[in-house]
Structure 1
Amino acid sequence: MPLKNYSLIKGKASNLAIDEDDSPHLEIRIEAAGVSYRVALNVRSSVPPNDLLYRKQDPFFHPLLDEFSALPEGKLNIGQSFSKLALDYVRGNFVQREAMKIAPFQRLGPDNDLRDYLEPIIRQGMADQRTTFYAFGEAWGPEEGEVDKYFGFVPANGIHDIHMNQGSPGRFKVTNSPNQDGALFIHFGAADRWAAIFLAFQSQDWHTDIHTGHPMKTRVIEPRNIDPLKPGIAIVAALINPAGEDDGQESVTLLNRTDVEQNLKGWRLMDRDERIQPLHGRVGAGDTIRIHLSAGPDNPHLRNKGGVIKLVTPDGVIAHAIGYKKHEAAREGWTTIF
Structure 2
Amino acid sequence: MPLRSYGVWKAKPVSYVVEYKADDDKSPHLSLYFSDKGELNHDFGYNFRRAGRGNKEIAGLFRAAINIKSGDKNESRLIYWVDYDFKSHPIVNSLTGLSSGFYPLEEMGPTPAGVRLDYIRGNLFNVNTGRILPHDEPGSNNDMIDVLEPEVKQAIDHQADIYVFGEPFSDRKGIHNVHMNQGNVKRFAPDDGVFQDGGLLINYPQSGRWVGVFLGFASQAVHTDDKTGHAISSETWGDYIGTKKRDSELTEDSVTIDEALINPESDGPRARRRSITLTNPKDHTMSLSSWKIKNSAGEFQALPRDAALGAKSTQAFDIPDVHLSNLGDTITLLNEKGLKVDGVSYGSQQGVGRQPVAFAH
- Would you say same fold, with TM above 0.5? yes
User: Normalising by the residue count of structure 1, what TM-score does the alignment of the two structures yield?
Assistant: 0.84
Unaligned runs of 5+ in 2: 39-59, 236-244
Residue 166 of structure 2 is aligned to residue 137 of structure 1: yes
Unaligned runs of 5+ in 1: 144-155
Distance 2:247 2:216 in 1: 26
The equivalent residue for 1:63 is 90
The equivalent residue for 1:236 is 258
The percentage of aligned residue pairs carrying the same residue is 31
The equivalent residue for 2:221 is 205
Q: Report Cα offsets for 1:113-143 as digits up to 9, x if no partner.
A: 22122222212222343x11110012223x2
Q: For 1:15-164, what aligned pairs fall within 5 Å after superposition?
A: 15-19=15-19, 20-21=23-24, 22-33=26-37, 36-47=61-72, 48-61=74-87, 62-83=89-110, 84-129=114-159, 131-141=160-170, 143=171, 157-164=173-180
The equivalent residue for 1:273 is 297
Distance 1:79 1:266, change over 3 A: farther
User: Normalising by the residue count of structure 2, what TM-score does the alignment of the two structures yield?
Assistant: 0.79
Aligned-CA RMSD value: 2.7
Q: Report Cα offsets for 1:209-233 as digits up to 9, x if no partner.
A: 22222222478xxx98999573212
CA contact (8 A) 1:97 1:229 kept: no
Q: Which amino acid is 1:215 matched to?
A: A
CA contact (8 A) 1:209 1:316 kept: no
* SS at structure 2 position matched to 1:44: coil
* SS at structure 2 position matched to 1:30: strand
The equivalent residue for 2:6 is 6
CA contact (8 A) 1:98 1:229 kept: no
Q: Report Cα offsets for 1:59-117 as digits up to 9, x if no partner.
A: 43322113211122111111332531111111111123321112222222333322122
Q: Report Cα offsets for 1:277-326 as digits up to 9, x if no partner.
A: 222222143233422122xxxx3211223211111223322221111233
Of Structure 1 and Structure 2, the greater strand share is in: 1
Q: CA deviation at 1:181?
A: 1.0
Distance 1:313 1:26 in 2: 38
The equivalent residue for 1:148 is none
Distance 1:271 1:330 in 2: 17
